[in-house]
Amino acid sequence: MLTFLGLTALLIKIGLVVGISQGAVAYLIYVERKIAAYAQDRIGPNRCGREFGVPLGLIQPLADGAKMILKEDVIPKYVHKTTFILAPMIAIVTATIGFAVVPFGPVGAGAPRLGADWPVQFQIAPGVDIGIVYILAIGSLAVYAVVLAGWSSNNKYSFLGGLRSSAQLISYEIPMGLSILGIVLLARSLDLNTIIEWQDRHGWGIFWQPIGFLIFLVSAFAETNRLPFDLPESEQELVGGFHTEYSAMKFGMFFLGEYLHVITVSFLTVILFFGGWDLPFVLSADQTSWISAIFKVIVMMSKVSMMIVFIMWIRWTLPRFRYDTLMNLAWKSLLPLGLLNLTVTAVLAQMILGG
């Protein structure tokens, strides 16, 4: 039963995770601008905060945030008002609640303890047996934000952007689910922490499931609407896509939601294919001390940061897909490849690892 103390600890944990992830988003935008600048042989934001002695423009994110909040919030007369306001809320809520089952460090038997019988779990909801299915379920709700934003704006560019995006998100959910099934079959669990512990014992998922990793990575880019799959908001054709009519913090919420998705997807990639907190020959699930726990969290966060930088780097490397090639990639390449990968994995797992 949930005690009062447990409830307080849970609320603190939720506050920490939400606060840190939203703060991280602000600095991710800064990092993105810096990487974009280096990719284009510019310097990027470097002035903000120089008056206060802050180097490298490090308080640029605060200025960006203040700009978002203080700008005039325009709601055009011709929009469908309820859904117009609802859409950014859905975007940010679905992006935030996905973190409930993401482990940030050791969970379960490997968790460090406060005193004798109070394990500190580095996860909001530890031991959720369906972990990965929960994330897929939440991810499948994210499409509502885009569809409703596009439709309620009552504007052909927004509408076309919304339609494109919903087709894209629905299509790429299928190869994404298929690519995850391989590692789930091997680890014999849907729980993210169990998957990490399996990789700790048997080696990282990318060596067991290279094709699954490739399919997952491509689908993840499409699911987060990042380049080279950012067709919903392709500027040359659709002005701003589904968020053309949004301004001020409502636009900011879409922005925040997109970056939260990037963080979630990076966590998933690291957990499923790069061993989560695992570092071969150094860290294992048997270590339960506080030092090893903190080290595990640091390892995990560095891997996630590298993944995020990789995603931003790709943005400035590959040009955007055309719409029909995008759909062909999902349905004619990734889907058969995912099915093949799943079948081969199931047969090999049955024959080699035993029933």
Partner 1 sequence: MNINDYKDVILAGAVVIAGAIGAYLLLPHRHGLTKPTAARWIGAASGALSIALIMLFFTPPGAFLRTVFFYAFAILSLAGGGLTITSRDPVASALWFASVILATSGLFLLAGAQFLAAGTVIVYAGAIIVTFLFVIMLASKQGCAFYDRSARSPARATFTCFLLFFGLMYTLLIAKGDVSFGGLKTPFRGAITARDITPTTFGPPNKFGTAIHVFEKAIPRTSRLAPSQVVPAAGASASGIPPKHVAGLGGSLYADNLIAIEAVGVLLFVALVGAVAIAAPKPPVRSGASAGRATK
For partner 1, the binding residues (CB under 8 A) are 1-2, 6-7, 80, 82-83, 86, 108, 119, 126-130, 133-134, 136-138, 140-141, 143-144, 147-148, 151, 154, 159, 162-163, 166, 170, 173, 189-191
- Minimum CB separation of residue 324 from partner 1 in Å reads 14
Contact 199, 191 (CB under 8 A): no
- Minimum CB separation of residue 151 from partner 1 in Å reads 5
Select 24 or 138, whichever has its Cβ closest to partner 1: 138
- Minimum CB separation of residue 211 from partner 1 in Å reads 23
Select 189 or 269, whichever has its Cβ closest to partner 1: 189
Among residues 97, 90, 88, 94, the alpha carbon closest in space to that of 14 is found at 97
Select 160 or 300, whichever has its Cβ closest to partner 1: 160
How far apart are the C-alpha atoms of 204 and 354, rounded to whole Å? 20
What is the 8-class DSSP label of residue 268? H
Select 59 or 141, whichever has its Cβ closest to partner 1: 141
Select 166 or 345, whichever has its Cβ closest to partner 1: 166
Among residues 176, 192, 169, 226, the alpha carbon closest in space to that of 98 is found at 192
Select 26 or 93, whichever has its Cβ closest to partner 1: 93
- Minimum CB separation of residue 197 from partner 1 in Å reads 14
Q: Vertex 225, ends 224 and 230: CA angle to 5°?
A: 160
- Minimum CB separation of residue 82 from partner 1 in Å reads 8
Structure tokens at 14: 């939720």
**What one-character-per-residue DSSP string does 190-251 give?**
S-HHHHHHHHHHH--HHHH-HHHHHHHHHHHHHHTT-TTS-GGG-HHHHTTGGGTT--HHHH
Among residues 106, 39, 30, the alpha carbon closest in space to that of 314 is found at 39
Contact 106, 282 (CB under 8 A): no
**What one-character-per-residue DSSP string does 312-352 give?**
HHHHTTSPPPPHHHHHHIIIIIIHHHHHHHHHHHHHHIIII
Select 60 or 155, whichever has its Cβ closest to partner 1: 155
- Minimum CB separation of residue 202 from partner 1 in Å reads 19
- Minimum CB separation of residue 117 from partner 1 in Å reads 9
Structure tokens at 200: 């700790």
